[in-house]
């Protein structure tokens, strides 16, 4: 059976040499990304059959990187046994089209569901092109660099050393003041950048900065995998210094070539759906965008066509449609009503960018696409057929179990609607999806416990926070 080592800086260093051999050129499986984004995702690592595998929570479920190195097929078989024994889903994250084709062709995975979002796509550039900035397509970058030279003289690039850390932190403080809304110093990325700086040398990263008047005005931090692919994790520069961003990018890649003469590509990570960042990254003429997929194995939604309509006991469970967008958004953003349901949209890692009526509707569609879960709108038949709540069946394990949750808007509570919807959803999961259905509720949520028990569930366990039920 596999044993995963929970994230620590020591464990990250333990697996560093393996991680540096990743053949897939994605930022998701890299030392810097693991370090910067490990908090709150239950990150862990293991090696089996000579293959490296990482595990972390993606969209609320444990997910795995595709194994690489050693005997990959044997590693996959071990991973399947691991998820079976622990009643976990088998879900892969950071999957490139190359790996997706491997999964499709494997007899180990007859039932797969998958999807990607544009905001996850990594921007990959030719290292040689960025180091030279030749040709018409880079005329804008050359103009910015020439502007920098005319104002400040020849760029002075300096590799990052231990003695520079304090000065770089001061520069980042100035950067934060240039980005006051939202306050960058309170931003998760800012805090992670500071931590990365403090552990820069332990992780064997590469970095550098442009010096002006004896002080850094930019900083770049990255790492190189297989001596060929440079992944850039941090690019920060003072916007008050004109032309500094292309100047820094060009100088840093030139520096990387001095350390790694076989450098082929530069990965500047994804844009997280930020349109300004997307425009900026496209302006540097990537040679390709690396689309990254979430892949779910053995989901019962694999063969389900559409979302059925269930009409019984005065309520209707049906597909969440475009006309429901605003009502569904209101349901998802009612923090008080969602408190005992265990959901807070402000901490939902699947949400990036500005929240609008499409935000939650798009998540429902995507979860359905990849076999992650199926959501039903609850409608009261005798009223106006509007969405008043949600039944969600999710967390499909490889073994064939799933979890059910129900929430109803405050105005429609106290009429038994939640109980009816809960029973209909549980019956659908058992009879149509053929899964063993489970549920849980906070111990303080007495009404939910009564509802669950009244729908044919038995309490099977408890911990400090929750009661757990099975049918």
- What CATH number does residue 14 fall under? 3.40.630.30
Classify residue 275: in a domain, yes or no.
no
Q: Is 426 helix (H, G, I), strand (E, B) or coil?
A: helix
Low-confidence ranges of the chain (pLDDT < 70): 181-186
Tell me if 365 sits within 8 A of 397, measured CB to CB.
Answer: no
- As a whole number of angstroms, the distance between CA 45 and CA 29 comes to 11
Per-residue DSSP letter, 43: -
Question: Using CA of residue 171, residue 172, residue 173, residue 177, what is the dihedral sign?
Answer: positive
User: Do residue 52 and residue 87 come from a single domain?
Assistant: yes
User: Do residue 169 and residue 210 come from a single domain?
Assistant: yes
User: Do residue 39 and residue 59 come from a single domain?
Assistant: yes
Give the tokens for residue 166: 């304090």
Q: What does pTM read for this prediction?
A: 0.90
Q: What is the pLDDT of residue 154?
A: 95
User: Do residue 259 and residue 180 come from a single domain?
Assistant: yes
Q: What is the pLDDT of residue 176?
A: 84
Classify residue 416: in a domain, yes or no.
yes
Classify residue 281: in a domain, yes or no.
no
Classify residue 220: in a domain, yes or no.
yes
- As a whole number of angstroms, the distance between CA 252 and CA 133 comes to 13
Classify residue 150: in a domain, yes or no.
yes
Domain of residue 307: give its range: 300-470
For 179-327, strand residue ranges (E) read 206-212, 215-216, 218-225, 229-237, 265-267, 288-290, 293-297, 310-312, 315-319
The residue with tokens 């057929």 is: 385
Q: Is 354 exposed, middle or buried (0-12, 13-18, 19+ CB in 10 A)?
A: exposed
The residue with tokens 């620590």 is: 8
Closest CA to 38 of 56, 21, 17: 56
User: Do residue 110 and residue 223 come from a single domain?
Assistant: no
Adjacent-strand bridge partners of 374: 393
Q: What is the pLDDT of residue 185?
A: 45
Q: What is the pLDDT of residue 181?
A: 57
Residue 251 CB neighbour total at 10 angstroms = 21
- As a whole number of angstroms, the distance between CA 419 and CA 402 comes to 18
User: Do residue 57 and residue 182 come from a single domain?
Assistant: no
Give the tokens for residue 376: 């039903």
Closest CA to 207 of 173, 174, 256, 276: 256
Closest CA to 424 of 408, 440, 406, 411: 406
User: Do residue 245 and residue 328 come from a single domain?
Assistant: no
* Cβ partners under 8 Å of residue 328, min gap 6: 320, 360, 361, 364, 377, 387, 390
* Cβ partners under 8 Å of residue 390, min gap 6: 320, 328, 331, 375, 376, 377, 378, 405, 406, 407
User: Do residue 82 and residue 187 come from a single domain?
Assistant: no
Q: What is the pLDDT of residue 383?
A: 72
Structural domains of the chain, count: 3
User: Do residue 346 and residue 459 come from a single domain?
Assistant: yes
């Amino acid at each position: 059976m596999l044993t995963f080592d929970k994230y620590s800086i020591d464990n990250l260093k333990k697996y560093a040499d393996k991680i540096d051999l990743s053949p897939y050129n994605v930022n998701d499986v890299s030392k810097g990304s693991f370090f910067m984004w490990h908090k709150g995702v239950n990150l862990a690592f293991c090696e089996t059959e000579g293959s490296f595998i990482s595990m972390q929570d993606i969209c609320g479920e444990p997910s795995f990187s595709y194994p690489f190195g050693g005997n990959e097929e044997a590693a996959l078989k071990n991973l399947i046994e691991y998820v079976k024994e622990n009643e976990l889903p088998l879900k892969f994250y950071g999957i490139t089209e190359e790996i997706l084709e491997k999964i499709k062709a494997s007899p180990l995975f007859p039932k797969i569901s998958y999807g990607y979002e544009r905001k996850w796509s990594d921007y990959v550039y030719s290292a040689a092109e960025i180091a030279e900035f030749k040709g018409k397509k880079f005329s804008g970058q050359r103009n910015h660099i020439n502007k920098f030279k005319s104002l400040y003289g020849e760029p002075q690039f300096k590799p990052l050393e231990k003695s520079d850390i304090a000065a770089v932190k001061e520069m980042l403080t100035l950067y934060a003041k240039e980005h006051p809304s939202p306050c960058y110093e309170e931003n998760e990325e800012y805090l992670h950048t500071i931590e990365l700086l403090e552990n820069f040398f332990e992780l064997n990263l590469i970095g550098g900065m442009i010096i002006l008047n004896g002080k850094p005005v930019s900083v770049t931090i990255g790492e190189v995998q297989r001596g060929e692919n440079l992944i850039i994790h941090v690019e920060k520069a003072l916007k008050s210094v004109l032309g500094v961003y292309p100047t820094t990018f060009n100088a840093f890649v030139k520096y990387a070539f001095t350390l790694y003469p076989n450098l082929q590509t530069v990965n500047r990570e994804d844009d997280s759906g930020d349109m300004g960042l997307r425009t900026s990254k496209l302006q540097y003429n990537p040679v390709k965008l690396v689309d990254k997929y979430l892949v779910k194995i053995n989901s019962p939604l694999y063969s389900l066509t559409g979302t059925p309509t269930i009409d019984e006991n005065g309520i209707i469970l049906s597909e969440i449609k475009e006309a429901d967008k605003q009502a569904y958004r209101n349901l998802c953003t009612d923090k008080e009503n969602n408190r005992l349901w265990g959901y807070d949209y402000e901490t939902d890692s699947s949400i990036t960018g500005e929240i609008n009526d499409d935000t939650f509707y798009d998540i429902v569609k995507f979860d359905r696409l990849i076999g992650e879960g199926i959501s039903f709108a609850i409608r009261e038949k005798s009223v106006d057929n509007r969405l008043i709540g949600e039944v969600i069946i999710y967390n499909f394990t490889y073994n064939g179990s799933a979890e059910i949750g129900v929430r109803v808007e405050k105005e429609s509570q106290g009429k038994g609607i939640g109980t009816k919807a809960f029973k209909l959803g549980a019956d659908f999961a058992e009879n149509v999806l053929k899964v063993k259905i489970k549920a849980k509720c906070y111990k303080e949520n007495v009404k939910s416990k009564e509802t669950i028990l009244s729908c044919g569930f038995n309490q099977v366990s408890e911990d400090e926070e929750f009661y757990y039920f099975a049918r």
